């Protein structure tokens, strides 16, 4: 399939794709705020952490990474498909994006953060947002309860908790 735009026009269109404040990010922020969570999106902790997480909940020692299904190569998702032009370039692009995501996730978990990854396809349907909000709250509070139990444990297991 031949591109319908000139290379200059395609470059301009691609340059308009945002990396921050996307609709899925804004939706997740709204859900978290509605649940009573307070967070930072552009604070010093966000910029200093590996991968510059989208949302940092310092009080809960939790991070939320909102991944776009296309750019992060969400396999098996209807929102992800390999472009038909420059296939080798796109395969390499998605492979390196996935590797970077895995490295950042491992580094954040090694630092003791509770990392939650939310895919764009989970945020898009309005019907799933209530379920997503409940899952986010459960994952954040589960980590807090786990850390409280470890803190009370006389054996003193070495678990990174806030």
Type and span of the H or E element at 30: helix 23-34
120 assigned to some structural domain: yes
pLDDT at site 97: 92
115 assigned to some structural domain: yes
8 assigned to some structural domain: no
| Domain limits for position 66 | 19-151
How many domains is the chain partitioned into structurally? 1
- Encode pLDDT of 138-160 as tens digits: 888 876 555 443 333 333 323 33
Q: Looking at residue 130, which CATH number applies to its domain?
A: 3.40.960.10
The model's pTM is 0.76
- Encode pLDDT of 65-118 as tens digits: 998 888 888 888 888 888 888 889 889 999 999 999 999 999 999 999 999 998
Beta strands in the chain (DSSP E): 55-57, 62-67, 114-119
Give the CA dihedral 114, 140, 156, 151, nearest 10 degrees: 140
161 assigned to some structural domain: no
2 assigned to some structural domain: no
Nearest to 116 by CA among 57, 159, 161, 50: 57
9 assigned to some structural domain: no
97 assigned to some structural domain: yes
């Amino acid at each position: 399939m031949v591109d319908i735009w000139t290379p200059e026009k395609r470059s301009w269109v691609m340059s308009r794709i945002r990396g921050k404040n996307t609709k899925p990010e804004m939706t997740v922020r709204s859900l978290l705020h509605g649940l009573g969570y307070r967070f930072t999106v552009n604070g010093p902790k966000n910029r200093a952490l590996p991968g510059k997480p989208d949302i940092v909940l310092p009080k809960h020692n939790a991070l939320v990474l909102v991944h776009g299904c296309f750019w992060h190569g969400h396999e098996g998702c209807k929102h992800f498909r390999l472009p038909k032009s420059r296939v080798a370039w796109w395969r390499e692009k998605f492979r390196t994006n996935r590797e970077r995501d895995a490295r950042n996730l491992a580094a954040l978990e090694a630092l003791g953060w509770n990392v939650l990854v939310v895919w764009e396809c989970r945020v898009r349907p309005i019907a799933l947002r209530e379920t997503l909000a409940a899952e986010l709250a459960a994952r954040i509070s589960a980590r807090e309860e786990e850390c409280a139990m470890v803190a009370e444990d006389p054996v003193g297991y070495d678990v990174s908790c806030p």
